[in-house]
Amino acid sequence: MVQKSLKARYLEDGYVIVRNLVSEQEMKDLTEACTRAEVLVREAGWPFRRSVGKQFPPYSDEPDSWGIQHVMHPALGEPAFARWYSSDAICDVAKELLGCSEEDLQMELFNILINPERHDFALRWHRDDVKEDASESEEVVALNVSQYGIQWNTALYDDDCLFVVPGSHIMPRTAAQRVQSLSLDPPKDPLAMPGAIKVALKAGETVFYNQNILHCATYSPSKKRATLHACMGNCQGGSFRARNILQHDVSWMKGEVFRATLHGRAQKMWEKLIKMESEAGGTIVYSQTN
Ligand SMILES: O=C(O)CCC(=O)C(=O)O
Ligand SMILES: [Fe+2]
């Protein structure tokens, strides 16, 4: 039997796992950088973070965190992140899944998902860019729109926090799925969602997933998590990605200070982001609430 291509599996299932996108040296550099960033967010007031209790921005002042935002920020001083984000390994897969050329790659967001320190926390079932109260016909329209972005999770430690419903990125919810995803309570048992599977990653593995796949996640202070969470766009989409990206404050990415930390391909990708941001007028529109 002929093996399906990465892209065919991604298009069909809405997610695909890739095993070898981090070299041994990169794993070491990224893990060390991540440990230092974690100290900053937990103990030294790094302001860009995801607070426990909030699923989407704007985040709150709750001190416990489940994510470190903007890890390419010059003030963090960790060049390993931008280096890996713009590596051949990542960009080759990005080009394949986005179906675009080198010149079309657009820099977007790079965050790290970490375990909370003091609370269990969970993200309820959601699609990143379609509201849970969308009607079936609104959902069909939203899921048929071409995508111009990809996102991925790369685990630095074994990670089984994420759950997805394979194929749901192109299918409106069934009545039973709708009931569960309308609940504002965190899922007690994610596998009770019809069709759900757990996405278990070994350290070093990456899952690329369509942002509109039905997904949720559960976090526990007792299980170490540091998972690189990033997205990248195809600038042929014009302002298509603006709502998604600009709901996070990217003002720090504008200007010379950040640009000067980037090299070669990364600078070219950055130019696409800045163009999109200025064409969108820097408008920040929140797409989801919680
Ligand atoms: O924790 C995860 O792996 C998923 C995060 C997520 O779904 C989100 O940030 O919208
Ligand atoms: Fe999500």
Q: pLDDT of 181-199, one tens digit each? A: 998 888 989 999 999 999 9
Q: What type of residue is 200?
A: A
The rounded Å distance from CA 210 to ligand 2 centre is 10
Q: What is the pLDDT of residue 286?
A: 41
With cut-offs at 50, 70 and 90, classify the pLDDT of residue 264: very high
Alpha carbon of 225 to ligand 1 centroid (Å)? 13
Average pLDDT over residues 123-151: 94
pLDDT in tens, 63-78: 999 999 999 999 999 9
Paired with 112 in beta bridges are 68, 228
pLDDT of res. 31: 98
Q: Specify the pLDDT at position 239.
A: 81
- CB distance 10 to 166 below 8 Å: no
pLDDT of residue 282: 56
Average model confidence (pLDDT) across the chain: 93
Residue 161 Cβ contacting ligand 1 at under 6 Å = yes
> Ligand 1: which of 65, 129, 229 to mutate, most ligand atoms within 8 Å of CB?
229
Residue 238 confidence class, pLDDT cut points 50, 70, 90: confident
Measured between alpha carbons, how far is 159 from 146 in angstroms, rounded to an integer? 30
| Among protein residues, the one whose CA lies closest to atom 10 of ligand 1 | 128
pLDDT over threshold 80, residue 40: yes
Give the domain 6-279 fold: Jelly Rolls (2.60.120)
The predicted structure's pLDDT at residue 289? 42
| Measured distance CA(230)–CA(204) in Å, rounded | 15
